[in-house]
Amino acid sequence: MNKFIIAGNWKLNGNNILISNFIKKLKMFFKTHSIINTIIFIPPIVYINNIKDIIQEKNFFLGAQNVDLNLSGAFTGEISVNMIKDIGVKYVIIGHSERRILHYENNKCIAQKFKILKSKKIIPILCLGENLKEKNFNKSELICRKQIDEIITIVGKNAFQNSIIAYEPIWAIGTGQAADLKYVIKMHKFIKTYISENSNINIHDVIVQYGGSVNENNIEQFFNTNDINGVLLGNSALIYEKFTKIIKITNKLRY
């Protein structure tokens, strides 16, 4: 049975004391609660070096929120894949709607980042999804298809081996209202089927997690289906009690 993936994206939140204390409490939590599933903690990258050695558990990993297209050079403020690899990060989020909207990252840019990560054996967490207008015009599948096609075109048909997709409908992110479970399952099935039919990966090996207002009150519904392989948390990852409750619920449901 594949492990359920619980990824917590802190975005532009926290400080050194807050995040260090969060991780120290999490370490104590893991002394009495096993890590049955895969936990990925994704803070602002400036704090990773300060916390990377606090938790040494085989199913606990650190992630980064972005990567630059360039490996080195005069690119002020950017973080290269070599830097990310150097500090021991295993996962990197790319294509998040906030990057697409606020930083004008298009499908080609995101596909190039995907390729860079794969070249260094870092696992991309590729975010994709539609906005409310696209959903209302029944273009959800079309939008996701275009985002996937660019990856296959630039990276190749083996792109989605050892990779993660985070389906995040933009209209559900940060709203407090998760997408309807039937709708999420429908989109996950579409994504898995489309990738398996257009690349060199078996449908059962396509990993798709859901993101969009997931919390401790609705996590159970997203766990109890074979079509959803994990969750990408936003606000729920910032609060220790909420984050650990989600871990406890998924531990209980696993057995």
Q: What is the pLDDT of residues 95-136, one digit of tens each?
A: 999 999 999 999 999 999 999 999 999 999 999 999 999 999
Q: What is the pLDDT of residue 236?
A: 96
Q: What is the pLDDT of residue 184?
A: 96
The CA-based angle 114-88-223, given to 5 degrees, is 65
Confirm whether residue 119 is marked as ligand binding. no
Token reading at 176? 């407090």
Mean pLDDT, residues 23-52 taken together: 95
Q: Per the residue annotation, which of 105, 168, 188, 216 is the catalytic one?
A: 168
Domains, the chain: 5-249 (3.20.20.70)
Mean pLDDT, residues 12-39 taken together: 96
Confirm whether residue 9 is marked as ligand binding. yes
Q: Map tokens 């929120």 to a residue.
A: 65
Q: Map tokens 């074979």 to a residue.
A: 226
Confirm whether residue 174 is marked as ligand binding. yes
Mean pLDDT, residues 4-27 taken together: 97
Residue 10 has pLDDT above 90, yes or no: yes
| Greatest distance between any 2 Cα atoms in the chain | 51
pLDDT tens sequence across 200-241: 999 999 999 999 999 999 999 999 888 999 999 999 999 999
Query: Whole-prediction pTM value?
Result: 0.96
Residue 74 has pLDDT above 60, yes or no: yes
Confidence of residue 191 (pLDDT cuts 50, 70, 90): very high
Q: What is the pLDDT of residue 252?
A: 87
CA atoms within 13 A on the CB side of 85: 14
Residue 123: strand pairing partners: 91
Confirm whether residue 171 is marked as ligand binding. no
Q: Which of 152, 123, 141, 249 is nearest to 188 (CA)?
A: 141
Q: Per the residue annotation, which of 96, 98, 130, 134 is the catalytic one?
A: 96
Q: What is the pLDDT of residue 232?
A: 97
Token reading at 254? 């696993």
Confirm whether residue 213 is marked as ligand binding. yes
168 catalytic, yes or no?
A: yes
Residue 255 has pLDDT above 70, yes or no: no
Q: Is 124 in a helix, a strand, or coil?
A: strand
241 catalytic, yes or no?
A: no
pLDDT tens sequence across 147-188: 999 999 999 999 999 999 999 999 998 888 888 999 999 999
Residue 1 has pLDDT above 70, yes or no: no
Interatomic CA distance for residues 56 and 142, integer angstroms: 42
